[in-house]
Amino acid sequence: MAEADPKLPNVDEAAKKLAEDQARAEKSAAKAATRRRLFAILAGVIAVAAIGYAIYWFIVGRNNVSTDNAYVGADSALVTPLTAAAIVKVNVMETQRVRAGDVLVELDPSDARVALAQAQAQLATATRKVAGYYAQDRALAAQVTSRAADIAAADARIASAESDLKRARIDLSRRQALVASGAVSGDELSTAQNRFAAALAGVEQARAARLQATAQVTAAKGSQAVNMALISDTSGQENPEIRAARAMVEKAQLDLDRTIIRAPLSGVVAKKTVQIGQRVALGTPLMSIVPVETAYVDANFKEGQLRKVRIGQPVTLTSDLYGSDVVYHGTVTGLSGGTGAAFALIPAQNATGNWIKVVQRLPVRISLKADELRAHPLRIGLSMSAEIDISNAN
């Protein structure tokens, strides 16, 4: 048998190669078909998603505005002493829960007790002093009556003296008329003249006594008027001196009561800076009480989102602390009077030539339900996400 020429093509290898090429072409066509089918499915999914989102936005999305620029806040109470003293006892610690009225800090009451005792003594002194005014008023009234009787007696003595003077004058006149006839001796005339002079002096003395009695009545009435000015228009316990002393007692008692510092509201103790033995002055910050059960949220919405935001609209919120599993429900209670930039320590100078517009945010106050806060307490400063339902906006 003749050998094959090596320069001639091998029919079997050519057929095999042709089959491989055809297989690759079919595989490539299958991949292309699969790719086109996948792209068609993807396009369908995207179209369905777009339609679904459009439907969601039309039904729900356009009726809600949301932001994650929201933080928990609360109207904290700053605890400060209302009197100066040394601290003898601290009953709470940082993060402790307290109820309104619980004793937080006790101050040294020694000085306050001494001041209260002094004020009570001054009140007793004032009470006795005012009682003396009333007793003196009665004594002065009796003195005025007595001096009035002295005037009446002086009037009687004047009348008697004037009667004696009249008799002495008549007797003297008679004797002077009889002197020329010698019927009356010189001694009798001298005696009559002396009686007349004595009667005249008696009248002057009686009149002087009446003037003295009148002056004494005037002085007694003046003293009574001065004393009456201290007690007029008031009862004994309403006298200004007693009221002033009683006010000092009340102030001293108040200072003593203020040595016990109580919680002004229920909440959590924060920023505690007080220690036993420390002497605190009036108004020194001791700690803060954070009312976590009445916390609220300040959500900072962009100005373009606030077009339909109204007070009273419902809000749903979630916190980073609990995640999306815990949903809070709140209500819009107010919008701030200005943006954060407007109230910044260094406000933006928008009138300068290199101004760049920055979208501003306005804080929106959102109240939360108390039962939800009790179930899942929040703390001041925690991050929140808020979504307001604006479907009822006019």
- pTM for the structure as a whole: 0.63
pLDDT > 90? residue 61: no
DSSP strand E in 240-322: where? 260-262, 267-270, 279-280, 287-290, 296-302, 314-319
What pLDDT shows up at residue 2? 46
Higher pLDDT, 214 or 268: 268
Q: Is 230:133 a contact under the CB 8 Å cutoff? A: yes
pLDDT > 70? residue 250: yes
* CA dihedral (237, 241, 243, 248) positive or negative: negative
Residue range 173-187, pLDDT digits in tens: 766 666 666 666 666
Which of 37-41, 59-63, 250-254, 283-287 shows the lowest mean pLDDT across its residues? Answer: 59-63
What pLDDT shows up at residue 315? 95
Residue range 112-129, pLDDT digits in tens: 999 999 999 999 888 888
Region class of 359: left (phi > 0), else alpha (psi between -120 and 50), else beta? beta
Report d(CA 327, CA 315) in Å as an integer.
10
Confidence tier at 225 by pLDDT (50, 70, 90): low
Residue range 318-348, pLDDT digits in tens: 999 999 899 999 999 999 988 887 887 777 7
Average pLDDT, the chain: 82
What is the average per-residue pLDDT within 278-285? 91
What pLDDT shows up at residue 168? 75
What is the average per-residue pLDDT within 60-84? 88
Confidence tier at 1 by pLDDT (50, 70, 90): very low
What pLDDT shows up at residue 208? 81
What pLDDT shows up at residue 180? 60
| Buried/exposed 183-197: b ≥16 CB within 10 Å, e otherwise | ebeeeeeeebeebbe
pLDDT > 90? residue 189: no
Residue range 95-110, pLDDT digits in tens: 999 999 999 999 999 9
pLDDT > 90? residue 285: yes
Report d(CA 328, CA 317) in Å as an integer.
5
Higher pLDDT, 394 or 112: 112
Q: How many CB atoms neighbour CB 339 within 10 A?
A: 16
Higher pLDDT, 331 or 143: 331
Confidence tier at 231 by pLDDT (50, 70, 90): low
Report d(CA 66, CA 61) in Å as an integer.
10
Contacts of 288 (CB under 8 A, 6+ apart): 76, 77, 78, 79, 269, 270, 271
